Amino acid sequence: MAIPPALVIAARQGWQWQWQRLMGGLGPADAEGNYQRPSSDHLSASVPSFVLATLPEQRRPLLILGRSCPWAHRTWLVHQLRRLGSSITPLIARADHRAGRWQLDPPWQGCHTLLELYRRCGAPPSYRATVPVLVDPSGPRILGNESAQLVELFNEWPAPDGAPDLAAAHQRGEIDRWQSLLQPAVNDGVYRCGFARTQGAYDRAETDLFNALQQVEQALQDGRSWLCGDELSLADVRLFPTLIRWEVVYAPLFGCSRRPLWQFPNLWLWRQRLHALPGVDDTCDAKAWRQDYFGALFPLNPGGIIPAGPDLSTLVHAGIPRP
């Protein structure tokens, strides 16, 4: 039996009201519907003196990560690129979609969830239990939980000979310039697109996003390998987690689909170069990204269906597609 059109319209209006409430659970928005990333309390990171000594594995600082979190991904990348495995132990937390929290599986020091670990480390109740977080197991105590600070910290962390300096003195000005563009327009911009409450908010975010990508594309046209020239830097590390998720998550789910990434040929090749660096592929898990984004973000995917997606190997090893 067909549903009367008037009932369909009424149901649509009711769903839109409920959708607005559900979107509020993902993050606040201003009066014009622009997504505003929720603020988090962060603990300042600094290199503790004990890392200067060789520690047994059970006493090494623990870097707790979530595979789907792009902010955690950037810290993991620096950990891999600078070969810090002998001094910092990574631990992968699992996203519990039903409970809306990070699960420690197996438990660590009696803590089954990241929230329990935060509380055991003495974090105030107001602190959101977020990844990444660096923990000193001897306390335990939190050494830092802000990705922007942690990537800087890991770049200063004692590393094996030959480990790259990702923020050399001659690069710092350009790194900061890229950060001021990419953080709001691209890294956060994809979320401003996906979590926009109104058409106008989406249009503004989407325009800023693709304008920024075009600026990166143009900068790479002069033959440079990396954003700041011939040497890899934190600017590259900060951009990569967003662009490696492009076809898997942000284009299909967040509406970042005006132009496929292969239409930015210099960016396409830049992404392939970075992915080919030792240790980078170990940080990339497209299956986990699809499960966590499509499975957890109910307001964006009410059916909860996790779609099939491209294998990363078809994106990071293939040439630029022909139109």
**Residue 318 is encoded by which pair of tokens?**
């293939």
What contacts 180, CB < 8 A, 6 or more positions away? none
Binding-site residues for glutathione sit at 102, 128-131, 146-147
**Residue 138 is encoded by which pair of tokens?**
């001897």
User: Cα(252)–Cα(294) distance, rounded to whole angstroms?
Assistant: 10
Q: Which of 35, 69, 228, 293 is catalytic?
A: 69
User: Cα(172)–Cα(321) distance, rounded to whole angstroms?
Assistant: 35
**Residue 75 is encoded by which pair of tokens?**
């810290």
Binding-site residues sit at 102, 128-131, 146-147
* β strands within the chain, DSSP E: 62-66, 89-96, 101-108, 111-113, 133-136, 141-144
- Residue 173 Cα distances to 170, 177, 178, 194, 252, angstroms: 7, 6, 9, 31, 35
Give yes or no: 202 in active site: no
What contacts 249, CB < 8 A, 6 or more positions away? 289, 290, 293, 294
CA 79 to chain centre: 15
**Contact predicate 188/147, CB 8 Å:** no
User: Cα(238)–Cα(154) distance, rounded to whole angstroms?
Assistant: 14
User: Cα(23)–Cα(227) distance, rounded to whole angstroms?
Assistant: 35
Q: Which of 35, 118, 127, 191 is catalytic?
A: 191
DSSP assignment of 133-162: EEEETTTTEEEE--HHHHHHHHHHS---TT
Give yes or no: 193 in active site: no
What contacts 188, CB < 8 A, 6 or more positions away? 37
Specify the pairing of strand 111-113 against strand 89-96. Answer: unpaired
Number of alpha carbons in the 13 Å side-chain half-sphere of residue 56 = 2
Active site residues: 69, 191
